[in-house]
């Protein structure tokens, strides 16, 4: 690890700003220079956008660049790439894969999506049916994926597919990187309760994936996918936020602006929501401290579980406080958004969109199992399919 303290790291940022003044430097040129200087994600290794420093030192970089008006990499547009694909590539990718994928991913030149869920294997991800068959040094993939965020703007995807149906379902999977511009990839919108389509279904027909684009060994797909899911749940529920950020901030703002609509019952719900949000925020801080010392564990599932419950309770409270005005909704126009924007939209959108929080990133039911088994140490559920070949399972 480089011998850098916060002052030395701050000097590196100053050197970057001096060499590439944000006001006169092309945005992409600045992002390239930042990545090459190791200031993209400081906890990554040198040469891969980092300096091998503790994750806790990243705010030193972010604050200095924000004050200088430096461009960011539009993280909301590429949340799956930054929060899920990048940690997985770092953990399981070859040196060539890391060099090939991480720089354009972080700089936002390539947007990523996740091809995991399927119509017949949602919560039971290991039961997926998408097949990858090796033909020489190329895998031929056929199948269907569903609930794929950002597939309509994605350049690449992380994919789990079945490579050996003769193995039990968890053992016969492998993990790949997919070129979303392959002619066999067909992306179709899924219209949601909000009237929009940020999700998609993706049909894969004879999609060709070089074996060089496989992450991990053949048959290790479940292991690699679990690492991705752990990162996803931390990304959703374990962010660093100030007090009264997000949903609680919008509800508190509504509460303060409409004193005539307050009741003892809504007051109690607001206080309970504020306390729950603050507990979750402090717990997320502890989770990030643990991340700084290692890799995400099952605690991320608990944070994502809390995030979904709190969001749904607070969005419901906001509509109750708004009374008749809560029935308004800005538009049912069909849109293809690039990211979820809870705080920038109206209360009706927040209420409808929050319903998906207990499904995306792992259903709340599955996450309760994860918390029960991996954190509380409770007995696992009885499984009769553990040693049965996937091809012999009823579907």
Run of H or E residues at 173:
strand 173-179
Check if 244 is active-site: no
Residue 7's Cβ-count burial label (10 Å; 0-12, 13-18, 19+) is exposed
Chain centroid to CA 218 = 24
> How far is it, in rounded angstroms, from Cα 58 to Cα 72?
14
Residue 266 Rama label (left phi>0; alpha psi -120 to 50; beta) = alpha
Give the N- to C-terminal CA distance of the chain in Å, as an integer: 50
* Active-site option among 110, 118, 201, 232: 232
Q: Is 182 exposed, middle or buried (0-12, 13-18, 19+ CB in 10 A)?
A: middle
Among candidate residues 114, 109, 122, the one with its CA nearest the CA of residue 85: 114
CB 270, CB 252: distance < 8 Å: yes
Q: Catalytic residues, which ones?
A: 232
């Amino acid at each position: 690890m480089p011998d850098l303290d916060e002052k030395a790291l701050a000097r590196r940022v100053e050197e970057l700003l001096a060499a590439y003044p944000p006001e006169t430097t092309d945005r992409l040129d600045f992002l390239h220079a930042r990545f090459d200087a190791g200031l993209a994600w400081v906890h990554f290794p040198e040469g891969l956008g980092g300096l091998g420093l503790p994750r806790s030192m990243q705010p030193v970089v972010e604050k200095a660049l924000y004050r200088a008006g430096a461009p960011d990499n539009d993280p909301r547009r590429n949340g799956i790439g930054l929060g899920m694909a990048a940690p997985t590539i770092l953990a399981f990718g070859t040196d060539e894969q890391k060099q090939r994928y991480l720089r354009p991913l972080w700089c936002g030149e390539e947007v990523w999506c996740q091809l995991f869920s399927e119509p017949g294997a949602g919560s039971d991800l290991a039961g997926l049916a998408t097949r990858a068959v090796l033909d020489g040094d190329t895998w031929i993939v056929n199948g269907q994926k569903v609930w794929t965020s950002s597939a309509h703007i994605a350049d690449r995807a992380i994919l789990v597919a079945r490579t050996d149906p003769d193995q039990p379902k968890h053992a016969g999977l492998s993990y790949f990187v997919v070129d979303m511009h392959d002619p066999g990839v067909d992306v179709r919108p899924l219209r949601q309760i909000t009237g929009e389509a940020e999700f998609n279904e993706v049909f894969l027909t004879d999609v060709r994936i070089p074996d060089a684009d496989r992450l991990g060994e053949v048959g290790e797909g479940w292991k690699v996918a679990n690492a991705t899911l752990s990162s996803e749940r931390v990304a959703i529920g374990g962010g660093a936020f100030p007090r009264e950020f997000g949903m609680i901030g919008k509800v508190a703002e509504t509460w303060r602006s409409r004193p005539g609509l307050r009741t003892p019952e809504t007051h109690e719900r607001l206080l309970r929501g504020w306390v729950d949000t603050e507990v979750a925020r402090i717990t997320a801080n502890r989770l990030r401290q643990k991340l700084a010392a290692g890799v995400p564990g099952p605690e991320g599932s608990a944070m994502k579980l809390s995030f979904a419950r709190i969001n749904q309770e607070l969005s419901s409270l906001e509509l109750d406080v708004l009374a008749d005005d809560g029935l308004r909704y800005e538009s049912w126009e069909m849109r293809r958004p690039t990211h979820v924007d809870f705080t920038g939209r109206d209360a009706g959108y927040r209420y409808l969109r929050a319903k998906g929080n207990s499904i995306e990133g792992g259903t709340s039911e599955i996450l309760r199992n994860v918390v029960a088994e991996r954190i509380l140490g409770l007995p696992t559920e009885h499984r009769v399919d553990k040693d049965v070949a996937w091809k012999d399972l009823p579907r």
